[in-house]
Amino acid sequence: MAKAMHRESRGKEGNDSTWQLLARRVDAGGLAKLAALDNKRINSLLAEAILLCNPARVLVCDDSIEDAAQIRAKAIADGEERPLNMGGHTVHFDGYISSRRHDQARDKGNTRYLVPAECPAAEELNSIERQAGLAEIRTIMRNIMAGKEMLVRFFCLGPTASPFSIPCVQITDSAYVAHSEDLLYRPGYEQFRRGGPALPFFAMLHAAGRLENGVSIDIDRRRIYIDTVEDLVYCANSQYAGNTVGLKKLALRLAMRKAEGEGWLAEHMFLMGVHGPGGRVTYFSGAYPSACGKTSTAMLQKETVVGDDLAYIRAIDGRVRAVNVERGIFGIIEDLNGDDDPELFRVLNSAGETIFTNVLINDGKPYWNSMGRPLPAQGVNYAGLWRPGNTDCWGEEIAPSYRGNARFTLRLNRLANLDPQAEEPNGVPLGGIIYGGRDSDTAVPVLESFDWQHGIITLGAALESETTAATHGAQGVRKFNPMAILDFLSIPLGRYLRHYLDFGGQLERPPQIFATNYWLTDEQGDYLNEKRDKAVWLKWMERRVHGECAAILGPTGFLPRYEDLSCLFRQLLNKGYSRQQYERQFAVRVPQNLAKIERIGERYRRLTGIPQEVLSQLADQRQRLRDLQRRKGDLVSPLELP
């Protein structure tokens, strides 16, 4: 934390040295663990957190099984989690008061960057002047842990002892947060011990605040402030994991800035292995906005998963390699069923350490929307006792499980389809990057870009997704979400794209860039793809990476040939694939593509600092489409292309 905190916190203990303060507030076992690290910044951070938050007790944990078990037991003893019938299963409910006052989602408005006065704030980033922000958050957090126990846990982003490793310390008063991170992240105490006194790290300080019936009640004082000067995240008066589990999207924001300075990429992407001929495995990363098929792609049957959410990407010895930042899944459980996600469904119905969040509980068993089984007529959920037709104080119906935020947390090593290279310290070699959005009338099911720059700009930076009935607001609205990372940007979009372009420009052979769209519909609104068709699109991309099939040159990229897709449909899915299906799916819809370029171009023209290549690539694509329209019309079959 900043030195200013230390100055403002000086009381009767303020004249003591850091170690003397720790010796008075931390037990002998905890002091021994801190002494073994010999890290002055850790000691200073913890001492200042103690002075600020004033906990009754401090528990310092290492990587031991015993400490992890103690955290799990505390989560249950404190009522943050409740045991279920299946061995290892617990349920956690986020704070809910009503449909209009709850702690069930990321608080975008109160998630802010602390920007020093001498640094200009980026217009698209939610920020506050650093000293003013520090003063506010310290006022809110002063004595916030009085009577509670402060938990100190050490984790690692990325595999340990790896070029990708980023050590982290989480300070919290929530055993649920500490337990969740134990499932999601590699243990990091030994990484700190090996790193020595000067080891840099990210830090997170979280306090749930005043609780009533186990719920954070001072929601108006909820703040998530990100101090990029200190690589430190503050969170107060929240229990929802998106705000409190600091190593997830909050650490992504810190990592993105670190990556820009060091020449690598920190991304909101899955990692998976696609299995090709002769036992070959080709690794892909993929960025998809919510509800666009990200998890179902990463977990596709007969392929292997490395990670489902966050990836670090580096150039190592001339090759692009990537790791999963996490070792677990914090996944949306709504619609997850045995037909579409058989492996996850199997694990969720098997004994093993799993935290269910905001689901319906009946007779010690979890239930959620569209799970493929009938929901019970009553139970306990995030709002208390539940029956069909229950409404809150605003007359809003209370769903059995919280829509969009019923989740599960578990370790990836419980999955039978976990890729054997998932813990490789140097990562997996990246053959391709996929961008996917929800698009009913424009994009084809699968497409390859001409090159890195074309793909990054016209597929990644132009990513859009249509809203659905499951999201708040109007349905079918196209939301601009470049690289599916807009909500998590910690640098201006122009700098982010410049960094992306430069990263690929320095590579002799960058990963090939693809796009998928599982949501194309006909005039009646019926989908032109089946859910399982994505297996074909992935296999086609895998073969393209290795140059094993030709493609059709279109105005927006390379399209698959009918002969290749027909063969793959027969081999993989044992079903026919007609030329009529192919033409309907892969026709170039010229007016819709031109309209998209206009939307995206207008977005970028309104922003400052956007690389010139962005507007140039969009202009070139517009011209190719207009040329095609002049020659062939508004709807052009792929069979009519060169």
Strand 512-516 and strand 428-436: pairing? parallel
- Cα Rg for the chain, rounded, in angstroms? 25
Closest CA to 432 of 355, 338, 543, 571: 543
DSSP tag of 364: T
* Dihedral sign from CA coordinates of 497, 503, 508, 510: negative
292 as an active site residue: the answer is yes
Q: Are 203 and 47 in contact (CB under 8 A)?
A: no
Q: Are 514 and 446 in contact (CB under 8 A)?
A: yes
Closest CA to 443 of 364, 547, 514: 514
CA distance linking residue 594 with residue 573, whole number of Å: 34
- How is residue 637 written in tokens? 């079959």
Q: Which of 292, 393, 549, 567 is catalytic?
A: 292
Phi-psi sector, 38: left (phi>0), alpha (psi -120 to 50), beta: left
CA distance linking residue 442 with residue 459, whole number of Å: 13
Residue 465: φ, ψ to 5°: -145, 135
CA distance linking residue 105 with residue 95, whole number of Å: 10
Beta strands (DSSP E) in 280-371 are 281-287, 304-307, 311-316, 319-324, 328-332, 354-357, 360-362, 365-367
Residues known to be catalytic: 292
